[in-house]
Structure 1
């Protein structure tokens, strides 16, 4: 059985945000605006996405 994945895109710069939010973006493996990462769909990843939802998007496909 294949693991579910999410494609996450950074669409807004983390400059000027809270340090914990910057660490969440780094933890998701995102460093450049427009970058897309495919991540495993786990509760910890969902929590990080939720925390920085104003900077990242879950991309379809």
Structure 2
């Protein structure tokens, strides 16, 4: 399992990055969601790596 935390705003982001954040379940700054550590989730996190922080649990 990995924990994904949004650390920056999505206001000035491209539309596909906003959709990725929403599909990860992140809507607010400092919101944390847990996901399984799969290649799909890792790929989404990689696309928005400047907006999120990842910790492994």
- The TM-score with structure 1 as length reference comes to 0.88
Larger Rg: 1
Distance 1:14 1:33 in 2: 9
Distance 2:15 2:29 in 1: 17
The runs of 4+ residues in structure 1 deviating greater than 6 Å are: none
Distance 1:34 1:58 in 2: 12
Q: Which structure would you say has the larger RCO, counting Cα contacts within 8 Å and 6 or more residues apart?
A: 2
- Runs (5+) with no aligned partner, structure 1: none
Q: Between Structure 1 and Structure 2, how many residues are aligned?
A: 57
How large is the RMSD of aligned CA atoms in angstroms? 1.0
Q: Does 1:33 align with 2:51?
A: no
